[in-house]
Amino acid sequence: DTAVSQTPKYLVTQMGNDKSIKCEQNLGHDTMYWYKQDSKKFLKIMFSYNNKELIINETVPNRFSPKSPDKAHLNLHINSLELGDSAVYFCASSQNSPMDEQYFGPGTRLTVT
Amino acid sequence: AQSVTQLGSHVSVSEGALVLLRCNYSSSVPPYLFWYVQYPNQGLQLLLKYTSAATLVKGINGFEAEFKKSETSFHLTKPSAHMSDAAEYFCAVKEGGYQKVTFGTGTKLQVIP
């Protein structure tokens, strides 16, 4: 009974392609996030949605577009993939209260060749 | 603006020895502080969190952390390291009323048998 799930777990693709990563949470949380973790394990927030509304949009190339069809789902679409996009992408969710922790998915390892 | 500094990207301890992972924060308002652990090829999971209820916080797997406002620190400790503690540890800060979480750069803990 996975709390935050992501698909696919691995994604290998060539430069210039377009790909999507899906995320679903069954915790009833209102807020969902996308993070990028690079090879040095540095975690960078990309986007956050609260009840389907975009609330955090960090400096991320326009090639990245999040979409939240409902509050349990947050997808990430990436256009024109570049070598530098290779990383592990994590989805997370949390309650609205600032004292509440985030629950992370297992990650999607994206490799662009 | 909030920020987190983790001193030491790599820490090695012997099995049974004290674990001390350092975290200093910067925040313009009283913060909420978190420690997360990431095992290889997994997402992050919460170890413990400080929400102003008590300055000494106990978490899972025998870890604890003490919030020291005067030192702006939230160091993570465990009296006796176990081989299973080998992982990457992240300190994180969240300012009240704000959903953005800022993560430190992580500390990789190695436990030597």
The pLDDT of residue B98 is 62
Confidence tier at A66 by pLDDT (50, 70, 90): very high
Query: Measured between CB atoms, which of A43, A50, A104 is closest to B99?
Result: A50
Are B2 and B91 a contacting pair, CB within 8 Å?
no
- pLDDT(B31) > 90: no
C-alpha distances out from residue A28 to A32, A73, A81, A93, A96, Å: 11, 11, 32, 9, 11
d(CA B34, CA B71): 17
Give contacts of B41 with chain A, Cβ < 8 Å. Answer: 107
Mutation target for B interface from A48, A101, A108, A109: give the one with most B CBs within 10 A. A101
Touching check for B28 and chain A: CB below 8 Å? no
Confidence tier at B97 by pLDDT (50, 70, 90): low
Q: Cite the beta strand spans of chain B per DSSP E.
A: 3-7, 10-14, 19-26, 31-38, 44-50, 56-58, 64-68, 73-78, 87-95, 101-103, 107-112
pLDDT-above-90 percentage for chain B: 78
- Across chain A, mean pLDDT equals 94
Residue showing tokens 């899906």: A22
Are A29 and A95 a contacting pair, CB within 8 Å?
yes
What confidence tens digit (pLDDT) does each residue in B50-91 have?
988 788 999 999 999 999 999 999 999 999 999 999 999 999
Please tell me which residue, B38 or A98, carries the higher pLDDT value. Answer: B38
The pLDDT of residue A101 is 93
Please tell me which residue, B60 or A97, carries the higher pLDDT value. Answer: B60
Query: Measured between CB atoms, which of B43, B100, B108 is closest to A45?
Result: B100
Please tell me which residue, B23 or B31, carries the higher pLDDT value. Answer: B23
Mutation target for A interface from B45, B99, B105, B107: give the one with most A CBs within 10 A. B99
Touching check for B22 and chain A: CB below 8 Å? no
Give me the half-sphere count of Cα atoms (radius 13 Å) on the Cβ side of residue A56.
Answer: 18
- pLDDT(A74) > 90: yes
